């Protein structure tokens, strides 16, 4: 079984939309999270989709679920945790309870605010997670990456051809994630917010799946403008749920 875990726990503080989380903002007449959900529901490899949402926005997500998907039993909504990995843990738990998933099954975790994810990326994530146990979606860096440890001077300039930018999905076997997370000390759990970094720190080989530039994260107002332009939508400041 393959479960998609849509991470929609953000509160949208960077979008300047008076608290409306970015995943609920409209793109081509539809909330961004719905675009993302539909893509995973359309993916032939995905059996069910679980959305992890901040408790304050649970009511809105449930309304959207009802409005867009009616009684579709392939979808569930759960309350997210205090951080990204806790939300994944909640989704993993729900996968077992609601859909009968077992430890060997795959969970494909994805940011709700990356609606341009392609079927190719999803498919390759599932294959890689099945083969290697864990994978991350990455894109070769086009800009030179500069490191600074003191935020004033450059302390390193890594070789660009070895640098990648992390995207999502990040996919892994459910049981593997649970054991890695539980084996991590609480202090580290709070520090390491990226699921694949947890695997990496525990010595797992994390396979890379090639991402796409269009699979960008809608974080700032500029990103939303870009997304709307990409889909041929006219600029309209009134977009909101």
Partner 1 sequence: MINTQYRLTSPMVIETNFENLDINSGQILVRPKALSICKADMRYYFGMRDAKVLKQRLPLALIHEACGTVLYDKNDVFRTGDKVILLPNIPGKGTQYSENYRLDSRFRSSRADGFMQEMLNLPASQIIQYQKIDDNLAAITEFISVGVHAVSTYQKQVKHQPKRIAVWGDGALGYAVSCLLKYFFPEAYLTCIGVNRSKLAMFRFADECLTADEVTSQNIFDDVFECVGGQASQKAISQIIDTILPEGIIMLLGVSEEPVPILTRMVLEKGLTLIGRSRSTREDFEQAVYILEHDKKMADRMKMLISEEVEVRDVDSIHQAFRQSKIVDFKLIMNWKI
Q: Which residues in this chain contact partner 1 in the complex, by CB under 8 A?
A: 27-30, 35, 38-39, 41-44, 115-116, 118-120, 123, 210, 214, 230-232
Q: Considering beta carbons, is residue 33 or 78 the nearer one to partner 1?
A: 33
Query: Residue 44 CB, nearest distance to partner 1 (Å)?
Result: 6
Give yes or no for a cis peptide into 143 (omega within 30° of 0): no
Nearest to 229 by CA among 211, 240, 214, 209: 214
Query: Residue 26 CB, nearest distance to partner 1 (Å)?
Result: 11
Q: CA-to-CA distance for 189 and 173, rounded, in angstroms? A: 19
What phi and psi values does residue 65 have, to the nearest 5 degrees? -55, -45
Contact 6, 95 (CB under 8 A): no
> How many CB atoms neighbour CB 105 within 10 A?
20
Query: Residue 34 CB, nearest distance to partner 1 (Å)?
Result: 8
Nearest to 219 by CA among 24, 32, 37, 22: 22
**Would the CA dihedral through 56, 92, 14, 184 be positive or negative?**
positive
Burial readout 177-206 (b: 16 or more C-beta within 10 A, e: otherwise): bbebbeebeeeebeebeebbbbbbeeebeb
CA geometry: angle at 177 spanning 171 and 179, to 5°?
Answer: 165
Query: Residue 67 CB, nearest distance to partner 1 (Å)?
Result: 11
**Would the CA dihedral through 84, 86, 87, 93 be positive or negative?**
positive
Q: Considering beta carbons, is residue 154 or 230 the nearer one to partner 1?
A: 230
Query: Residue 115 CB, nearest distance to partner 1 (Å)?
Result: 5
Q: Which two tokens stand for residue 231?
A: 């889909």
Q: Considering beta carbons, is residue 35 or 84 the nearer one to partner 1?
A: 35
Query: Residue 222 CB, nearest distance to partner 1 (Å)?
Result: 17
Query: Residue 120 CB, nearest distance to partner 1 (Å)?
Result: 5
């Amino acid at each position: 079984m393959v479960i998609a875990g849509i991470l929609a726990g953000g509160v949208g503080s960077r979008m300047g939309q008076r608290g409306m989380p970015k995943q609920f903002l409209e793109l081509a007449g539809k909330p961004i999270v719905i675009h993302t959900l539909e893509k995973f529901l359309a993916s032939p490899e995905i059996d069910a989709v679980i959305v992890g949402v901040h408790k304050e926005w649970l009511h809105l997500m449930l309304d959207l679920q009802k409005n867009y998907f009616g009684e579709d039993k392939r979808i569930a909504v759960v309350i997210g945790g205090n951080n990204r990995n806790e939300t994944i843990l909640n989704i993993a738990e729900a996968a077992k309870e609601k859909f009968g998933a077992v430890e060997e099954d795959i969970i494909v975790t994805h940011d709700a605010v990356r609606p341009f994810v392609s079927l190719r990326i999803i498919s390759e994530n599932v294959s890689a997670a099945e083969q290697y146990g864990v994978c991350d979606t990455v894109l070769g860096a086009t800009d030179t990456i500069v490191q600074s440890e003191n935020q004033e001077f450059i302390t390193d300039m890594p070789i660009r051809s070895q640098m990648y930018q992390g995207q999502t999905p990040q996919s892994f076997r459910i049981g593997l994630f649970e054991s890695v997370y539980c084996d991590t000390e609480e202090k580290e759990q709070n520090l390491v917010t990226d699921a694949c970094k947890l695997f990496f720190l525990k010595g797992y080989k994390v396979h890379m799946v090639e991402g796409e530039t269009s699979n960008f994260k809608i974080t700032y107002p500029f990103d939303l403008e870009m997304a709307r332009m990409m889909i041929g939508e006219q600029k309209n400041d009134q977009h909101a749920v």
